[in-house]
Amino acid sequence: MKRWGLIFLVLMVALGAHAATQSTAQTIIATSLNSAPYSDAGTVASLPVSTNVNIIARQGGWYHVRLDSGQDGWLLMTSIRMNSTSSSSSGSSWGFGWLSSLFESGRSGATGVTATTGVRGLNTGDIAKAKPNPQAVNEITAWSATPQQARQFAQQLDIKPVQVAYLPQVKGAQP
């Protein structure tokens, strides 16, 4: 009986791994296909909105993807939306659609899979020793969007607004 259990487990993992390699997605913004999973990596191609991609692998907040043309590169996970497939929504013809969902990235909820990214490697000592960098603030300001641009972008993607309260100010903290 143990042997059949082991065979079943190996079969399930193999089917799941196969399903995981068959993930597809679309870009939700015009973005650059990078040569490596880094923001400063070289650009392989510029991709318009709604470009179909096949997911090859994931590394941190990046997906290694292949285009229909055969070209491959890396995209930020926040620049793509996973396609729902018949196997994940109604079960595959073998009844293992749920298995492929185990290999989707992010946190699964009632409305689908949600992926988040964050900063790792900072500790309280790093934060306490942090120094202001006005030049970096000025450089990043060039990437900011006006409230009107943000509303238009949200409308295009049918994003619903959510009101988030400001955190209370800590005594002694500088604004």
Query: Can you spell out the DSSP letters for 66-87?
Result: EETTS-EEEEEGGGEEEPP-HH
CA distance 67 to 88: 22
Q: What is the model's pLDDT at position 23? A: 87
Residue 64 lies in a domain: yes
pLDDT band at 14 (very low <50, low <70, confident <90, very high): low
- Do 63 and 139 have their domain in common? no
Residue 1 lies in a domain: no
The boundaries of the domain holding residue 80 are: 7-102
DSSP character at residue 129: T
- Do 85 and 134 have their domain in common? no
Residue 107 lies in a domain: no
Through-space distance between the first and last CA atoms of the chain, rounded to whole angstroms: 66
Residue 108 lies in a domain: no
- Do 22 and 74 have their domain in common? yes
Q: What is the model's pLDDT at position 25? A: 92
169 or 6, which is more confident: 169
- Do 56 and 131 have their domain in common? no
- Do 71 and 147 have their domain in common? no
Exposed/middle/buried for residue 19 (C-beta within 10 Å: 0-12, 13-18, 19+): buried
Q: What is the model's pLDDT at position 113? A: 55
pLDDT band at 141 (very low <50, low <70, confident <90, very high): confident
Number of domains, the chain: 2
Q: Which has the closest alpha carbon to 105: 72, 63, 66, 73?
A: 63
CA distance 45 to 58: 19
In the block, tokens 């749920």 appear at 98
CB 35 within 8 A of CB 41: yes
> Is the per-residue pLDDT at 45 higher than 90?
yes
pLDDT band at 73 (very low <50, low <70, confident <90, very high): very high
- Do 11 and 95 have their domain in common? yes
Tokens of 37: 């999973």
